[in-house]
Chain A
Amino acid sequence: QVQLQESGPGLVKPSETLSLTCTVSGGAISTYFWNWIRQPPGKALEWIGNIFHSGSTNYNPSLKSRVTISVDTSNNRFSLKLSSVTAADTAVYYCARGVGDYGDYLYFQYWGQGTLVTVSS
């Protein structure tokens, strides 16, 4: 059974960089698209971006200038960095395994439990 677990600070100061890691167990990190998705309190889901096991990335155009996703295949984990955060970046952040075909479809097969990150001084 594939499991994903997010980890990282729950509180980040405005203007700083949010950093999260997703550790994958029960399956190799190869072949699939590895995604970050967030959900502000009481609001809808928002896709942040993904990385293929090869290292190629795709980002939400609205966040692209502030987002970096990287993969560590040797430790079966991938990471998110979101720079220059503001209160609007306060959200539950999920990592998820994506199945799809580049430029065509993508769906989210397995999700982490989510971790709340609050941006506040």
Chain B
Amino acid sequence: SYELTQPPSVSVSPGQTARITCSGDALPKHFAFWYQQRPGQAPVMVISKDTERPSGIPERFSGSSSGTTVTLTISGVQAEDEADYYCQSTDSSGTYWDVVFGGGTKLTVL
């Protein structure tokens, strides 16, 4: 089955830039989406369609794509950005449509 691979953890100091990668063979064909999940809360989308920032999401969140890897970048990290981050995409053929999440990356703000 299709998999998206993320690093388990990323640590940065406040004000620095955090980059979280997500790799998958179908990413060149299908958009990726990024979600932030704080403890005990439902996920919230922070990046749509590889690079788009939904309304209400701070400008410090950005996304990029290159081949089979997409990257979530958080510039000027703040303490409130400490959370788990998940990439999500799809895979399909003529007979199925599968929706997958990456394993998640825990962002620690030192």
Contacts and interface: CB of A to CB of B under 8 A. Distances in A.
Interface of A: 35, 44-47, 50, 58, 60-62, 94, 100, 102-109, 111-114
B86 A61 contact: no
Contacts, number: 63
Contact of B1 (A61, A106, A108, A113): A61
B102 A44 contact: yes
B interface residue count range (under 10 / 10 to 19 / 20 to 34 / 35 or more): 20 to 34
A47 B104 contact: no
Contacts of B14: none
A44 B7 CA distance: 13
Contacts of A107: 31, 33, 45, 48-49, 88
B61 interface: no
Given A44-B103, A45-B86, A62-B1, A108 B98 contact: no
B101 A45 contact: yes
A44 B35 CA distance: 12
Interface in B78-95: 86, 88-90, 92
A105 B104 contact: no
Given A108-B45, A112-B42, A60 B98 contact: yes
B99 interface: yes
B83 to A, nearest CB: 13
Interface string B32-52: 010101000011110011000
